[in-house]
Structure 1
Amino acid sequence: MIERTGTGLSFAKRMYAPRAIGTGLGFFCVMIGIAPLQPGGWVWALLLAHGFVWPHLAFQIARVSAQPYKTEQRNLVVDGFAGGCWAGVMGLNPLPSVIILSMIAMDKIAAGGWPLFMKTVLAQGVGIALGLWLFAPPLFPATTQAQMLACLPILLIYPMAIGMICYQVTVQLGQHKRALARLSQTDSLTGLRNHGAWQELLLREFARCRASTGSSCLALIDVDHFKQINDRHGHQVGDNILRVISATLSLHLRKHDPAARYGGDEFCVMLPDTTPGQAREVLERLRLAVEAFRDPALPHLNLSLSIGIAPYHAGITDAQAWLHAADMALYAAKRAGRNCIVLAPQASEPA
């Protein structure tokens, strides 16, 4: 069931269009190729069915299958077998046979690489032998001008269709890659940056501050008595509180102030090009907003934040020292009674 709703069905959908285009265009190649042999009506009916019914039937077979990927792989081998049969019926007429067989091989390589290609070549060989045995046509008849003209559409259109499908797959893979990259940097609970992404951002901002004369601040934020909230009300309530805090961060911080969940109930905020006074003002609004929050389901639950701010200064030797300064300011806020903001001392101030 997982395969049916996932990559297997997606694979069958991806093969649907090139099969429909290929068999539809191939119909005219084969029609002109076998016309001189004056085959019976059942052969024409079979050719019509293969050209215009089989693509839709193959997709439905894969769609209702419990294993659509494997079923579609078998359908692709059947494509090769059918193409070989028609090449045999034509007596291996050079131009239409080569075009049909090569076009079939082209999309099989694109769909399944060399393993599928080898299976297809084997199926084509069996099909050719069967077509030659059943109809015993003249071998390698000369290709007429009409047959050449009938082959031009598939020669021009089909490679373009395969190229467009490969391009679409490449675009989708690029989108998936970017989405995975975002997920790898995002905390699944809060939607903020995660610890690893924050460390990269901290290193970049530290390097930028060292190279410029601007003022930036780093803040660590802790939810007061969060363990007690978890123990008293359960982890589901605790998780909801973390979501509330992250939403409040996004709402009250400026657009260019990135935030992250650093771990547990601790959050980090970077305030680029911000003075200590401006940083305190921004984070005070955040602290007041969290303090005023009330959960209708838990009206007696009060939330508060302890916040430590560390402005960048020339005395900070590396990014970890900057983070440590913010951490010490946070602990000072907790020792001061929590629900407050403490600013780390500047290089010129006594510790």
Structure 2
Amino acid sequence: MEKAAVQGISLARRLYTSRTLGLLLGLLCVGAAMYPLDPPPWAWGVMLVNALLWPHLAYQWARRARAPYHAEHRNLLIDAFMGGFWIAAMQFNPLPSATTISMMAMNNVAIGGLRFLLAGTAAQVLGIGVGLQIFAPAFIPATSPLQLYACLPLLCFYPLLLGWICFRQAHTLGRQKRELLALSRTDSLTGLLNHGAWKDQLEIEFQRCKRQHKGGAIALIDIDHFKAINDTYGHVAGDIVLRQLGKMLRQNLRAADVGGRYGGDEFCVILPDLPLDRAAAVMDALRNRFATLGYEQDPALKVSLSIGLAAFDPQHSDATLWLNDADHALYEAKTTGRNRVICCGDGKSEPELLDLL
């Protein structure tokens, strides 16, 4: 309900601007068409109220309503009814009548599509019927030069304003859509890609490597004894550790690298175009830096990482096999003492690997 109210008030604000300008310009158009007909004074009074007071009354009516969105739709139907009324009052003068119909039709389509166009048309027909009961039915087949020029401001400026409003709305919706998409792909705690988004990127990188015959590496990172950290220092401390690792990955990876939170205490990194030995050196430097971090909340807390690395293998048929290689390497890192980097296929920790290189 609260969201609907906000949307309704937002709609009322947008229509307040367009209604104010549209009815002011419409006053010129209708007034020029009515002047030769010598209408009674009350008709001029209704015309002025409709053009000068109604936009402000409609906005306040919608803004204070319990359901602003529905209130504004009601206001639009009143606009359409009054448009039909003035068409009959102008004795169907061709250009002013066509201008009134087209401007209101454009407005109704922009607000509610075909359904609201039909509702607005019905309200216009009702307004014409009421107008015919009040004014003598007649038809003026010619539009004078004065009436032509009086219609031009409405024909020129109102579509421009409505187009600008629609553009602003589309721009805002596009930005909100991009923000929602980013949120749906981001892990809220660490700011990295979430599990699904990272695996999508892994598939893209796998296909790129196959297509371009290039290499690369992926790393799976596990926080050692994370359950014990939660049990000993509390889940708040555990969340701090997760955020610290996410922050370190964001700050130390290359722009081309893709970090993510794989789930729980596991993180993952795609390292495009990086040979396995260099990827191992990068991950070992990350492991060393993370091990030296201090935590103000718990100075005694020290955290280490186990990391499994796997290079792209052109023999693999899909990205899952590449991920399995990194997972096997991570398993070896965890079962051979933790706090180390293991590359798939060598079973050696990173210091031993670097000695061999």
- Taking structure 1 as the reference length, the TM-score comes to 0.90
Q: Could you say what secondary structure the match of 1:164 adopts?
A: helix
Q: Specify the alignment match of 2:82 in structure 1.
A: 82
Q: Specify the alignment match of 1:248 in structure 2.
A: 248
8 Å CA contact 2:26–2:154 kept in 1: the answer is yes
8 Å CA contact 1:186–1:194 kept in 2: the answer is yes
The correspondence of residues 261-276 of structure 1 with structure 2, limited to 5 A, is 261-276=261-276
Q: Could you say what secondary structure the match of 1:80 adopts?
A: helix
1:100 aligns with 2:100: yes
Q: Specify the alignment match of 2:257 in structure 1.
A: 257
1:203 aligns with 2:219: no
Q: Could you say what secondary structure the match of 2:98 adopts?
A: helix
Q: Specify the alignment match of 1:323 in structure 2.
A: 323
Q: Specify the alignment match of 1:175 in structure 2.
A: 175
Compute the displacement of 1:316 (Å). 4.0
Aligned-pair Cα RMSD in Å = 2.4
Compute the displacement of 1:178 (Å). 2.9
Deviating more after overlay: 208-217 vs 185-194: 208-217
Q: Could you say what secondary structure the match of 1:217 adopts?
A: strand
Inter-partner Cα distance in structure 2 for 1:119 and 1:315: 63
Write out the 4+ residue segments of structure 1 that deviate beyond 6 Å after TM superposition: none
User: Which letter maps to 1:259?
Assistant: G
Q: Could you say what secondary structure the match of 1:296 adopts?
A: coil
CA distance 1:66–1:284, shift in 2 (3 Å): farther
8 Å CA contact 2:233–2:298 kept in 1: the answer is no
- Taking only the aligned residue pairs, the percentage that are identical comes to 45
Q: Could you say what secondary structure the match of 1:73 adopts?
A: helix
1:13 aligns with 2:13: yes
8 Å CA contact 1:18–1:158 kept in 2: the answer is yes
Inter-partner Cα distance in structure 2 for 1:246 and 1:229: 17
Compute the displacement of 1:337 (Å). 1.8
The correspondence of residues 49-60 of structure 1 with structure 2, limited to 5 A, is 49-60=49-60
Inter-partner Cα distance in structure 1 for 2:186 and 2:53: 47
Q: Could you say what secondary structure the match of 1:231 adopts?
A: helix
Q: Specify the alignment match of 1:65 in structure 2.
A: 65
CA distance 1:130–1:309, shift in 2 (3 Å): same
The correspondence of residues 1-351 of structure 1 with structure 2, limited to 5 A, is 2-3=2-3, 6-136=6-136, 138-140=138-140, 142-345=142-345
8 Å CA contact 2:309–2:342 kept in 1: the answer is yes
User: Which letter maps to 1:227?
Assistant: K
Inter-partner Cα distance in structure 2 for 1:5 and 1:249: 42
Which ranges in structure 2 are unaligned for 5 or more consecutive residues?
A: 347-352
Deviating more after overlay: 212-221 vs 243-252: 212-221
Inter-partner Cα distance in structure 2 for 1:316 and 1:91: 79
User: Which letter maps to 1:48?
Assistant: L
CA distance 1:253–1:115, shift in 2 (3 Å): same
Compute the displacement of 1:32 (Å). 0.8
Which ranges in structure 1 are unaligned for 5 or more consecutive residues?
A: none
Q: Could you say what secondary structure the match of 1:222 adopts?
A: strand
Deviating more after overlay: 258-267 vs 225-234: 225-234
Deviating more after overlay: 134-143 vs 117-126: 134-143
Compute the displacement of 1:73 (Å). 0.7
Compute the displacement of 1:75 (Å). 0.9
User: Which letter maps to 1:216?
Assistant: G
User: Which letter maps to 1:337?
Assistant: G
Inter-partner Cα distance in structure 1 for 2:240 and 2:5: 31
8 Å CA contact 1:94–1:143 kept in 2: the answer is yes
User: Which letter maps to 1:261?
Assistant: R
User: Which letter maps to 2:292?
Assistant: A
Compute the displacement of 1:317 (Å). 4.4
- How far does the alpha carbon of each residue in 1:42-73 deviate from its partner, in whole angstroms, 9 at most, with x for none? 43333223223322332232223232111111
Q: Could you say what secondary structure the match of 1:165 adopts?
A: helix
Compute the displacement of 1:107 (Å). 0.8
8 Å CA contact 2:24–2:51 kept in 1: the answer is yes
Deviating more after overlay: 14-23 vs 36-45: 36-45
Q: How many residue pairs get matched?
A: 348
Compute the displacement of 1:239 (Å). 2.9
Inter-partner Cα distance in structure 2 for 1:94 and 1:73: 28
Compute the displacement of 1:40 (Å). 4.0
Q: Specify the alignment match of 2:350 in structure 1.
A: none
CA distance 1:8–1:258, shift in 2 (3 Å): same
Compute the displacement of 1:6 (Å). 3.3
8 Å CA contact 1:253–1:286 kept in 2: the answer is no
Q: Could you say what secondary structure the match of 2:297 adopts?
A: coil
- How far does the alpha carbon of each residue in 1:188-217 deviate from its partner, in whole angstroms, 9 at most, with x for none? 332211222222221222222234454411
Compute the displacement of 1:172 (Å). 3.2
Compute the displacement of 1:240 (Å). 3.2
